[in-house]
Amino acid sequence: MADLPEKTTIVDAQSTARPGLWTRITNRLPFLRRKRGIAIVVIAILVIIGGGLAGLAALHNRSSRNGDTSTGSGGSEGGSVPNDDAIKSDAYFYGDSPAVYPSRFSPDPYLSGALASDTVEGVQRAGVITSTKHFIGNEQETYRMPHGEHQAVSSNIDDQTMHELYLWPFQDAVRAGSANFMCSYQRINNSYGCANSYTLNGLLKTELGFQGFVVSDWGALYTGMATALAGLDVAMPNAGEYWGSKLKSAVNNGSIPETRIDDMITR
């Protein structure tokens, strides 16, 4: 049998009801029962909100500055422009995949390569692969993708400039062990970045000895079999109408050697 205090509690509906939220809070934080305590909490909340808004504004301003920086000599629809600016390098996370940009670290190729190398090593030491992008000559946003009937801009780069300026930071990323490279939207010397055998097979995989896999920028497949033969290994986010059953047919009719497919899936 319950004792008297318990009995009186049982028969009292008010006493058996769970205390309200504010009552529970003030029981744990008695200072909130005073006006000064409430004022302190309100001020703290406003400071947190203000700090968050200031951070968002700073991020927006930084993004705006990056977006306003043109790195080519100007653009014309479907035209070709020389790339006079140096490689830049940056790193950011796309979802769970860290991307290393030879794009915003520095205008100096040597420094840019050193920082890209350290970034690759640091990230991959944590057990996450890096994606180094965009290979190569992606130095302006204007017309970097095909639009309407016009082709994307072409980054026309001579061999010496390619090796001494643009390729250098990517070389350091390869030596650091970057597991993945992403080819670019725009053209390089009038051939699209993800269908450019000179840059993918020649420079990246042969000259630099890159052992990882090459993925396309999102939707950067503009041709079918040419991209596979040029050195592209993975189509992102999908191959659309270009690969799939057509890739199988190309192997069956001898257009693409099966060893190339083996290379694509084992890198």
Q: Where are the beta strands (DSSP E) in 47-128?
A: 80-82, 90-94, 97-101
Which one is catalytic: 90, 172, 217, 233? 217
> By C-alpha distance, which of 207, 213, 197, 79 is closest to 140?
79
Element (H, E) at 177: none
Q: Is 217 a catalytic residue?
A: yes
User: Which token pair is 202?
Assistant: 């020649």
CA distance 248 to 256: 9
> By C-alpha distance, which of 212, 213, 184 is closest to 199?
184
Element (H, E) at 160: helix 159-161
Residues 189, 219 contacting (CB under 8 angstroms):
no
User: Which token pair is 18?
Assistant: 């769970």
| Coil, helix or strand at residue 168 | helix
Residues assigned a catalytic role: 217
